[in-house]
Structure 1
Amino acid sequence: MSKSQTIGIGMDYSPTSKQAVQWTVDHLVRSGDTVILIHVVSGKGDHGDQKVLWGDTGSPLIPLYEFMEMNLQVRYGINPDREILSILDTASKAKQIKVLAKVYWGDPREKLCEAVENLKIDSLVLGNRGLGTLKRTLLGSVSNYVVSNITCPVTIVRAIPDSKRKIK
């Protein structure tokens, strides 16, 4: 039996994040693994006491069942996609994995790298927004930065247009 692993998924609830979750569930996780959804709330907006309390270290690890029940928009400033949470809930039961969430505030590039170190993540999965070369150069790319600065394997899940996606 192989050692269990901790897999991080960078989460912003975009369509590519959903594809990254589905890819992780289908191809990477095994029984006994832990999956940590890493949310980074960037920049503007006041997210109340939680940001003040946990701003430097990120929120405590939140079990999926609690995460699904919380009013996350008010508490942490994020608006989760129920379909993504459902995919993870089903996988946690079927594959017997632990799913946790953690919220950080700041620059996604830096906070994802911090999360890998602090949470002892063995592998990180990110969705790719599919920016063109010019936009990526002007705006920067979270995935490019993370791949260049992180200490664990990183999988970038590219956006798949709806017309090319397999229907399950």
Structure 2
Amino acid sequence: MRVEGNCSDLPLFGRAADCWYHRPADTREFENKEPSNLRRKAMLADNIRLKSINHITYNVKNKDAALKWYEDVLGVKQIPKMVNSDHLYWLQLPSGAMVHIIENPDAPSAPSHHTAFEVDDIEASQKYFLDKGVETTDIQTRNDGQRAFYINDPDGNRIELCTVSGFGVLV
């Protein structure tokens, strides 16, 4: 497919691949790549493209002291938690991104337990990782309808893939 003009009618990753391929050969590093292969790889990224940080989780020794600090120092506001658990608080930034503080006196406070990324299609995202040989947890649905699963990176860092939270921005 030959793309004319500024390629603005293609999805972001596909647009970059097609525009790169159709530049003059002396401005490309890989002259022998077929556009279909580049496009296929780029479209795969569009299918599960990470959209934003959903929440960050921190282990704390005392959840009440941590809540006071996050509210008083950082201005992060407490919101209703969407899981049935007494050892944590959920807080939210004006952007909708959340901070979850979990009371765990014996756990190290850094690094955070995991980072969560929002995706549009949770099933397609899980299939993508399984097809790549990455183990995933089962997809779980939370009280507010948000769906999520977890993977680990090669170093064992936990990553959550999730849909948009069902309760929206509350602060």
Report the TM range for the smaller structure's normalisation: under 0.3
Higher RCO structure, 1 or 2 (CA under 8 Å, sep 6+):
1
Greater C-alpha radius of gyration:
2
TM-score (norm 1): 0.24
More helix by share: 1
